[in-house]
Structure formats: C-alpha cells, structure tokens
Amino acid sequence: MRIIITGGGTGGHIYPALALARHIKQVNPGAELLFVGASGGMEETLIPKAGFDLETLPVRGIPRKLNIRLLLQVFYLMGKSTRQAGKILDKFKPAFVIGTGGYAAAPLAVAALRRRIKVLIHEQNVLPGRTNRLIAPFAYKVCLSFEASRRRFIRHNNLILTGNPRASEVGGVVREKARSLLNMDPELPFLLAAGGSQGAHVLNQSMMDFLFLSSAHKKFQVLYVTGERYYEEVISRVKALKIPQIYGGRLQIRPYQQDMPLAMAAADLMITRAGATTIAELTALGLPAVIVPSPNVAHNHQLINALELSRQGAAVLLEERGINGVKLQQTVRNLFETPGKLTQMSENSKKLGHPRASENIYSLLVNQESGVRIQ
C-alpha cells in the first residue's frame, strides 16, 4: 500500500495526519507513506522529527489582506506547486492521497484528481476549511470529526463520520497512573488550564486573577500551563502575590506540558482553547471543559467548535471578550461544587468522541465498498 498524506500550515492539520500515519504503520508495517506539505510550514519540523519522509511545495495560502501582487503570486505558486505535485505522484504512484486540509493540501489533491487517484480528505473542525470545501465534491470520501459538519458540504453521499485521528492516541491513558506521574493528589479535584503551546495573553491575565481569587478555596488542585512566551511574566506576578506559598503542593505552573494528553487524562476539568486537536482529545477522554475560543483564527472556527460542544452539553463556553478572573472563578467553582453536572458533561463529551478514529479511516482504505462499517 502506497499512500501520500498532504496538509499542513498549522498543527491542527499536521497532528491528525501524523496520528493516522502512525496507526497505518502499526497495523501495516509494509505500507509506504510519503508526506507532502508547504515549504516553510510547521510540517518541515514536525514530520521529519516523527520519522516520516517529507516533500515540500512552494504553495502559499491566500493572505487575509489582499492586493493584486500578492494574489497573482499565490496563483502562480499554486500552479507551480500543482505541476510539482504531479511529478511526485507520477514517481511515487500512490493508491490514495489523504488530505488533512490547509492550503498545503490543495496542489496534491488537484493533481491526484486529474490522474484519477482516489482522494480522501479529513476535516477536523465543525466549519470546513476552504481547501476541503473545494475538494470535497470530487473526493472518494470526506471524513468528518463532527456530525454537525454534514450540512456544510454540497455533496453528502461521500461524507462519513470517523472522528479525528488524534483521538486514537489519547483514549487509552489511565487516570490514576496519569496523576501519579504528574505528582498530583489522587483524591482532590484537578483543574488543568492551558492556552496552547505559545499561551494566550488574555487567558493568562484572567488565570492569574483566578488563582488569587481562588487561593482560599483549598478543595482543588491546579496545573497551569502558561505557554513559554508568558511564563516569566506569570511566575513573577504570582510570586509577588505569594500565590505559590498559599497553594503549596496544590499548584504547579509550567511553561509547557510535554505530554498534554497525560495531563488531560488526570484532570477533572480543563480551561482551554477550541482548536481541533484539543477538541478531539477532550472528547476522546470525556473531559469536561471551560472553553475560551481564540478570536484570532480563520473564519472564527474555534468559536464554532466551542458552540457545538456547548450545545451538546460537553463544555461551558466563555468568549474572550467577556472573560476575567471573577468569571473564571465563578464558573469553575460552580462546576466543582456540582459534581453531578461534571459527570453529565463528561458523558456528553464521550458521546462526541471517536477513540477509534484512525482505525475508522484506515478501514476506508482497505475496504473500498461504500457500506464499510465505522466504529
């Protein structure tokens, strides 16, 4: 089996692709996989580091602020990249091209369709990205992470709900072992707070106020991941307020959490953003969340993801423009003091999760009949 996996630009496109690739190699060690991404993208670091071969194309995305010169450059690079993609396809001769979205996936998908190579695409968000919407009508299968995405596609008979492959890599983490590895109390309710690998300024400001306001409430413990950019600022302020001394062993503050799924498996509640990878992990674990979607993303897709989890009773949505330490404290305390609500949120979250997502997608490759059973 020869497969090309394409997509990139952001971790939300790359991490599901890597999760799927690892699953394919696990169940079919003889499979030959090649990644194709954009030159200068995150994929140039992440994919070779994960042990997979990568080819890059000079493709660029359409900038938010357009002018004629930039637009002409984008179209020129798209044409050039599509020609190069054709050469890669002719040389590698894949049975399938799997696209995980982003502008990096467009040239390979277009070149594959021209050669009548089966194209399977995966959409991580509730609101499909531009590339996936354009390719979807011509794709062999369109794999969805959310049932709510169906109405956003023109063609429906090639849509199938599989889940996000990232979910397959977190579903088996055991809570008790995770707490032990993190040196967390096995009994106290555990709040995990993180705003992404780089952190988030507004969320960090609110979290520092939250820690101060909640310092007298000794019935829960906190792991607070600031993001590397904000770590020194946060540490300086909380020390000035003597917050670490008040919390003692109930508070850990880190710039980065190497194994975030481990921390998520240990937690009872998480304060987080609404990126596709995070949503896949939350729902695979059934972790209730207070979600503060980033407003600085294309098409406001994090808000739409968060709205879906809120609508399904799996999360509490707080928009960034209205967030502060008092609001966070009220929300978290209300949830911890209503354990029945947390339990219901966890059950609702698990209903949205797909811990066998990678297996579901792989089954579409080895069983090409439309009636394949998805777990």
Domains annotated on the chain, with CATH? 2-168+355-366 (3.40.50.2000), 175-352 (3.40.50.2000)
Q: Is the pLDDT of residue 370 over 70?
A: no
| For residues 20-33, average pLDDT | 97
According to the per-residue pLDDT averaged within each range, which of 4-18, 119-133, 158-172, 184-198 is highest?
119-133
Per-residue model confidence (pLDDT) at position 10: 83
Residue 218, both tokens: 């000794």
pLDDT tier, 9 (very low <50, low <70, confident <90, very high otherwise): confident
Q: Is the pLDDT of residue 216 over 90?
A: no
For 363: left if phi > 0, alpha if psi spans -120 to 50, otherwise beta; the answer is alpha
Q: Is the pLDDT of residue 130 over 50?
A: yes
Query: If you average pLDDT over every residue of the chain, what do you get?
Result: 92
Q: What are phi and psi of 4, to 5 degrees?
A: -105, 130
Per the CB < 8 A criterion, the answer to whether 332 and 156 are in contact is no
| For residues 207-217, average pLDDT | 91
For strands 221-225 and 141-144, give the pairing: unpaired
**Cα distances (Å, whole numbers) of residue 36 to 39, 55, 170, 335:** 9, 5, 25, 44
Q: For the chain, what percent of residues have pLDDT higher than 90?
A: 80
Per-residue model confidence (pLDDT) at position 296: 85
| For residues 248-273, average pLDDT | 94
Per-residue model confidence (pLDDT) at position 373: 44
| For residues 158-181, average pLDDT | 90
Per-residue model confidence (pLDDT) at position 375: 46
Q: What is the pLDDT of residues 234-252, one digit of tens each?
A: 999 999 999 999 998 899 9
Comparing C-alpha atoms, which of 166, 130, 174, 126 is closest to residue 360? 166
Q: Is the pLDDT of residue 39 over 80?
A: yes
